[in-house]
Amino acid sequence: MSKKILLLAVTVALIIASCNKPEGEGGQATIQGKIWVENYNTLGSISSPPYFLKGEFAGADEDVYIIYGDDISYGNKVKSGPDGIFEFKYLRKGDYKVYVKSKDTTRASYFYGSGIKTVDVSVNIANKKETVDAGTLTIYK
């Protein structure tokens, strides 16, 4: 009789543990957003004139990354569509960070880095069938 009770207790513990899944794929929620590009000349930056805005447009075919919870690197990557809209589907409840790469218009990273920075937004999915708007991420080229 005690083996049956032990087996029942282990089964219940496994069921409870499996219900508390971490952020990531496997759910029914979606994160959507849009990439917007501001194209500046190469003579200046936004923070130090002279700078000249050459054009603005939807960020088509941009790589958009998502980080699940407290992970240290991205868990998935998608391309934005022709209208700059991106979508991450089949997510579980939890916290996410969505980011895209952008030219560093402050030029700070040119002295010690690649001249590229990330533009990111934190997103929380509270309901398992929710569609969350990550907003518009503006990048510079």
Total residues found in the chain within this entry:
141
Min mean pLDDT across 53-62, 85-94, 130-139 is at: 53-62
pTM higher than 0.95: no
Number of Cβ within a 10 Å radius of residue 23: 21
* Span 27-55, pLDDT tens digits: 999 999 999 999 877 654 555 555 677 88
CA–CA gap between residue 31 and residue 91 (Å, rounded): 8
Would you kindly state where each structural domain of the chain is located, as residue ranges?
23-140
What topology is assigned to 23-140 in CATH?
Immunoglobulin-like (2.60.40)
* DSSP 8-class letter at 68: E
Whole-Å CA distances, 18 to 12, 29, 30, 35, 68: 10, 18, 21, 36, 18
